[in-house]
Amino acid sequence: MSDKGNDFGFETLAIRTGHHRTAEGEQGEPIFPTSSFVFQSAAQAAARFAGTEPGNIYSRFTNPTVRNFEERLAALEGGARCVATASGMSAILSTCLGLLKSGDHIVSSRAIFGTTVLLFNNYLGKFGVTTTYVPLTDVAAWERAITPKTRLLFLETPSNPLTEVADIAALSQIAKRHNCLLVVDNCFCTPALQQPLKLGADIVVHSATKYLDGQGRCIGGAVVGSEEIVGKDVYGVLRTGGPTMSPFNAWVFLKGLETLAIRMKAHSASALELARWLEKQSAVKRVNYPGLESHPQHKLARDQQSAFGGVLSFELKGGQAEAWKLIDATKMISITANLGDAKTTITHPATTTHGRLTPEQRAEAGIGDGLVRIAVGLEDVGDIITDIERGLR
Ligand SMILES: *Cc1c(COP(=O)(O)O)cnc(C)c1O
The tens digit of pLDDT for each residue in 244-297 reads 999 999 999 999 999 999 999 999 999 999 999 999 999 999 999 999 999 999
How far is ligand 1, taken at its centre, from the CA of residue 114, in Å?
9
- Specify the pLDDT at position 224: 98
Q: Measured between alpha carbons, how far is 128 from 134 in angstroms, rounded to an integer?
A: 20
Q: How far is CA 142 from the centre of its chain?
A: 21
Instruction: Read off the pLDDT of residues 223-232 as tens digits, 9 standing for 90 and up.
Output: 999 999 999 9
Q: Measured between alpha carbons, how far is 298 from 307 in angstroms, rounded to an integer?
A: 11
Pocket test for ligand 1, best of 160, 189, 207 (most atoms within 8 A of CB): 207
Q: Measured between alpha carbons, how far is 254 from 72 in angstroms, rounded to an integer?
A: 8
Do 10-258 and 263-392 have matching folds?
A: no
Beta-carbon neighbour count of residue 236 at 10 Å? 15
pLDDT band at 6 (very low <50, low <70, confident <90, very high): low
pLDDT band at 362 (very low <50, low <70, confident <90, very high): confident
Pocket test for ligand 1, best of 87, 89, 123 (most atoms within 8 A of CB): 89
State how far the alpha carbon of 190 is from the alpha carbons of 85, 197, 314, 391, in Å.
16, 12, 23, 31
pLDDT score of 12 more than 90: yes
Tell me the percentage of the chain whose pLDDT exceeds 70: 98
- Specify the pLDDT at position 138: 97
Instruction: Read off the pLDDT of residues 156-192 as tens digits, 9 standing for 90 and up.
Output: 999 999 999 999 999 999 999 999 999 999 999 999 9
In angstroms and rounded to an integer, the radius of gyration of the C-alpha atoms of the chain is 21
Beta-carbon neighbour count of residue 166 at 10 Å? 27
- 170-196 b/e with 16+ CB inside 10 Å = b? ebbebbeebebbbbbbbbbbbbbbbbb
Cβ–ligand 1 distance for 95 under 6 Å, the answer no
* Mean pLDDT of the chain, nearest integer: 96
- Full-model pTM: 0.96
- Specify the pLDDT at position 53: 96
Q: How far is CA 171 from the centre of its chain?
A: 18
Pocket test for ligand 1, best of 87, 95, 210, 339 (most atoms within 8 A of CB): 210
pLDDT band at 108 (very low <50, low <70, confident <90, very high): very high
- Specify the pLDDT at position 1: 47
- Does residue 148 have a cis peptide bond before it, meaning omega lies within 30 degrees of 0? no
**Arithmetic mean of pLDDT, 313-320:** 96
Residue nearest to atom 11 of ligand 1 (CA): 113
- Specify the pLDDT at position 363: 87
Q: Measured between alpha carbons, how far is 359 from 365 in angstroms, rounded to an integer?
A: 10
Asked if the 10-258 domain carries CATH number 3.40.640.10, the reply is: yes
Q: Measured between alpha carbons, how far is 353 from 37 in angstroms, rounded to an integer?
A: 43
- Specify the pLDDT at position 222: 98
Domain ranges of the chain: 10-258, 263-392
pLDDT band at 218 (very low <50, low <70, confident <90, very high): very high
Asked if the 263-392 domain carries CATH number 3.90.1150.10, the reply is: yes
- Please report the atom of ligand 1 found closest to the CA of residue 112: 13
Pairwise pLDDT comparison (114 vs 164), residue with the higher score: 164
Cβ–ligand 1 distance for 211 under 6 Å, the answer no
Q: Measured between alpha carbons, how far is 163 from 173 in angstroms, rounded to an integer?
A: 23
Q: Which residues contact 41 (CB under 8 A, 6 or more apart)?
A: none
